[in-house]
Chain A
Amino acid sequence: MAVKVASGINRLSRLLGRGSGTVIGGRVGLAVDPMLLAVLAKDCDVALVSGTNGKTTTTWMLVAALSEGDSVGVATNTTGANMPAGHVAALIGTRPVGTVVLEVDEVYLGRLIEDTHPQVVVLLNLSRDQLDRISEVRMLVERWRSVLGRLDPVGHGGSRTVVVANADDPMVAWAASTAPEVRWVGAGQVWRDDAVGCPACGGRIVFEASGSWHCDHCEFGRPDRFAWLEGDVLALADGRRFPVVIGLPGQFNRANAAMVAVAAPELVGTHCQPPVSIATALERLSKLHEVAGRFSTVQRKGRDIRLLLAKNPAGWTAIFDLLDESGDATSPVVLSINARVADGFDTSWLWDVPFERLIGRTVVATGERCRDLAVRLRYAEVDHRVVPDVLEAVDMAIGNAGRLSVATTSTPVEFLGNYTAFAQLRSRL
């Protein structure tokens, strides 16, 4: 009954052009039957992916790693609708399903674990993001810790839940250390400013030059790792080594790939026979070049525009690293900021983003909160123009790039937007 209602509403929503029909049907379905998610996920092999940054990308990666050729047979919420209504829609939209990979909003991880009895839970990283909704990172950590501590080592259907967790993030490590079975992956964590206060005792987390860490007051320290990333090689504690040569740019995506390579083989239910090997998983990731438009390049007025998404200080810092690694130092940059519910209403986080790294580039500020951004850029002493309309902003960047010199006419424009700002540009291109 609830399934029929939800899928009917989704169809209606699409027919009326009121949306992609992924969330509204799920909402109604859950209103009819609060246990709808559990009903839909019953007898499925479920993997969940959560964390502050990289959820959507890692979910796509895990789907790719588990799929031969196209992704038929794996149900997933590719549109980024990562709360229960979106999960319901994903499961209804691709029935009947055997394997399920879901991106999960950090706040809803507990409910998803309880409803879907996952075989694998991938925990990427935790840092400040949407604090108007999350309040404090450590509050979230404690909720995760409590939920993961209730996992049964022999879970649903006789299988177990394996947590694949980033050992380099003390917040994730504290949360996941209650889980009965953890594969610790040294995936790296560049952003450390939310992890200095020890979550175990209130002491100070000391980060060592080697990348390891420990508390200066209690016994809490980096767990022994099952695998870790050494540049572009995934090293396993048992001595095996795998090259991580993937289609997506940036060290943070190699980190996501490392998590996926360890997670994919753990999905060993009735629908995943035989399990995917680490080598196969990584090989499949080499063919993934964009994720919901992120990292993609589009053409406008004869110029390449690379689309990048970042929504919090850790994410922006990682994207700036990406610009340094794979971009052109003369590329004009368009920055777009909104502050809607999906972005978080508070724009104070802009002051934590190292915009100073853009000094010397052509910078255009846009988005609904372009003036908050402009104040931040002014204090970063970054020369910039403010163009509220996002397409006009992109066109101004294109124009400026053309004027720099003959050699730069082929220089791509880098577009960096937060969540809804990114979606707005895509819908208008």
Chain B
Amino acid sequence: MATGARSPLTVVVIYPDLLGTYGDGGNGLVLARRAKWRGLDVSLVQAPSDRPVPRGDIYCIGGGEDGPQVRAASTLITDGTLTRSVEDGAVILGVCAGFQLLGREFPDAADRPHDGLGLLDVTTRKGTDLRAVGELVATLEPDAPRSSDGSGLPPLTGFENHGGVTTIGPGALPLARVITGWATEAGMGPRGHGGGGSSAPTSTARYWPETWRWPTCCWVGPWGPAGSASHSSGSRMKKRMLCGPSVWPGREL
């Protein structure tokens, strides 16, 4: 919660029963553990879809299948807590389906559009190409979030597995550009900030409303330094994006 006492730090994993298909529950665990190891008082809350969404400081929403994604979005809209929490300064780490449903619209299995939460100016449609599946590396945009000491974040690595393609509206900005992955192979090159009508695979880009404060710090996934792993991408988690205004001034994880 952005108001009042900041302790304990509450990390909420949204609807692991609907949006936990691709290992994204690990995001909440990683955030909570790193906070704990830095001496922060932190609680990790799993929020199933049959109960009201609890108030939290960081929300993690993961990837899921088409049907459960529709259910999750409508339930979150009805619940209302997530939207109110973001207005109060909470942060969302949205990945895959969990990112798509934060936008204006996303498709179901039959390509019918469904309302998202509208927290991001992005729209997702079904792609016309084959499903995007494979290892992924993306470099952050120059004006993407930095550590509080000013250093840039290392490349994002992960594994993409999605059929949706997201269009960025004028009120959103990308997080990163794909250098290895489906996007480049499909000839979908990088595009400029806020370029309305341009598109990017949903799992590779990060957007946030320009009107919001730049994050002063953020942390995404447990990546290791290049070459730290014996094979391919090594220590890393899945595709992920961060959205929302910033986070914990002075409380970098």
B159, A372: Cβ atoms under 8 Å? Answer: no
A136 close to chain B: CB less than 8 A: yes
Chain A: minimal CB distance from B185 (Å): 15
Collect the chain A residues with CB atoms within 8 Å of residue B235's CB. Answer: 371-372, 374-375
Residues in B with CB closer than 8 Å to A388 are 230
Query: Do residues B234 and A372 form an inter-chain contact, with CB atoms below 8 A?
Result: yes
A143 at the interface (CB under 8 A from B): no
B223-248 vs A, CB cutoff 8 Å, 1 = contact: the mask equals 01000111110111110000000000
- Say whether A128 faces chain B, with CB atoms less than 8 Å apart: yes
Contact, CB under 8 Å: B33 / A131: no
Do B20 and A138 touch (CB < 8 A)? Answer: no
Complex CA distance for A350 and B238, rounded to whole angstroms: 11
B163 closest partner in A (C-beta): A135
A198, A346, A376: the one contacting B161 at CB < 8 Å is A346
A96 at the interface (CB under 8 A from B): no
Closest B-chain residue to A192, C-beta based? B17
- Smallest distance from the beta carbon of B241 to chain A beta carbons, Å? 15
B159 with A132: CB separation less than 8 A: yes
Contact of B66 among A136, A194, A348, A368 (CB under 8 A): A136
In the complex, residue of chain A having the shortest beta-carbon distance to the beta carbon of B158: A348
Segment of B67-75, B81-89, B147-155 in the binding face: B67-75
Tell me the bound Cα distance from A197 to B25 in angstroms. Answer: 17
Among A132, A196, A352, A376, contact of B68 (Cβ-Cβ < 8 Å): A196
Nearest A residue to B27 via CB reads A351
Contact A345 B229 (CB under 8 A): no
Q: Are A197 and B71 in contact (CB under 8 A)?
A: yes
Question: Helix, strand, loop or mixed for chain B's interface?
Answer: loop
Inter-chain contacts of A375 with B (CB < 8 A): 222, 224, 235-236
Determine whether the beta carbon of B25 is less than 8 Å from that of A352: yes
Known: A204-B50, A371-B229, A376-B26. A348 touches B159 (CB 8 A): yes
Taken together as a complex, chains A and B put the C-alpha atoms of A371 and B235 apart, in Å, by 6
Residues of B within 8 Å of A379, CB to CB, are 26, 29-30, 33, 222
What string of 1s and 0s marks CB contacts (under 8 Å) between A129-142 and chain B?
A: 00110011111000
Size of the chain B interface, CB-CB below 8 angstroms? 42
Indicate if the CB atoms of B234 and A135 lie closer than 8 Å: no
User: Which residues of chain B from 22 to 65 have a CB within 8 Å of any chain A CB?
Assistant: 22-26, 29-30, 33, 49-50, 64-65
- Which residues of the other chain, A, contact B7 by a CB distance below 8 angstroms? none
Q: Do A193 and B16 touch across chains, with their CB atoms under 8 A apart?
A: yes
* Contacts across chains A and B counted by CB atoms under 8 Å: 109
Say whether A345 contacts B135, CB under 8 Å: yes
Within the complex, what minimum Cβ distance (angstroms) separates B18 from chain A? 6
Q: How far is the CA of A368 from the CA of B228 in the complex (A)?
A: 14
User: How far, in Å, is B224 (CB) from chain A's closest CB?
Assistant: 8
Q: Assess whether B161 is in contact with A368, with CB atoms less than 8 Å apart.
A: no
Residues of A within 8 A of B33 (CB): 379, 381
Given A196-B18, A348-B159, A138 and B50 contact (CB-CB distance below 8 Å): no
Question: In the bound complex, do residue A132 and residue B161 qualify as a contact, i.e. CB atoms below 8 Å apart?
Answer: yes
Q: Which residues of B contact A351 (CB under 8 A)?
A: 23-26, 29, 237
Also in contact, A194 and B161, with CB within 8 A (given A138-B67, A368-B231, A371-B234): no
- When distances are taken between beta carbons in the complex, the residues of chain B under 8 Å from A368 are 230-231
B180 lies within 8 A of chain A by Cβ = no
| List of B residues within 8 angstroms of A204 by Cβ | 49-50, 71
Give, as a whole number of angstroms, the nearest-CB distance from B43 to chain A: 16
Minimal Cβ-Cβ distance residue in A for B232: A339
* A139-B68 Cα distance, complex, nearest whole Å: 12
- Which residues of A, 337-360, contact B by the 8 Å Cβ criterion? 339, 345-352
Identify the closest chain B residue to A199 (Cβ): B67
Chain A CB within 8 A of B131 CB: yes
Contacts of B17 in A (CB 8 A): 193, 196
* In the complex, chain B residues 115-151 whose Cβ is within 8 Å of any chain A Cβ: 131, 133-135
Per the 8 Å Cβ criterion, residues 68-121 of A in contact with B are: none
**Candidate in A194, A202, A351, A371 with the most chain B CB atoms within 10 angstroms:** A351
A128 and B65 CA atoms in complex are apart in Å by: 11
Whether A271 sits at the interface, judged by CB under 8 Å, is no
- Chain B contacts of A370 at CB under 8 A? 230
Q: How far is the CB of B37 from chain A (nearest CB, A)?
A: 10
Contacts A197-B18, A348-B159; A371 near B230 (Cβ below 8 A): yes
| 15 more CB-based (< 8 A) A-B contacts, given A204-B49, A339-B232 | A128-B22, A131-B21, A132-B159, A135-B131, A137-B65, A193-B16, A197-B64, A202-B68, A348-B22, A350-B26, A351-B25, A351-B26, A352-B20, A371-B229, A372-B236
10 interchain residue pairs of minimum CB distance: A351-B26, A348-B23, A197-B68, A351-B23, A196-B17, A375-B235, A346-B159, A136-B65, A348-B238, A371-B229
11 sample A-B contacts, Cβ–Cβ < 8 Å, listed by A number: A131-B22, A132-B133, A135-B133, A136-B21, A138-B66, A196-B49, A197-B71, A199-B67, A369-B231, A372-B234, A375-B236
Interface positions of B (Cβ within 8 A of A): 16-18, 20-26, 29-30, 33, 49-50, 64-68, 70-71, 109, 131, 133-135, 159, 161, 163, 222, 224, 228-232, 234-238
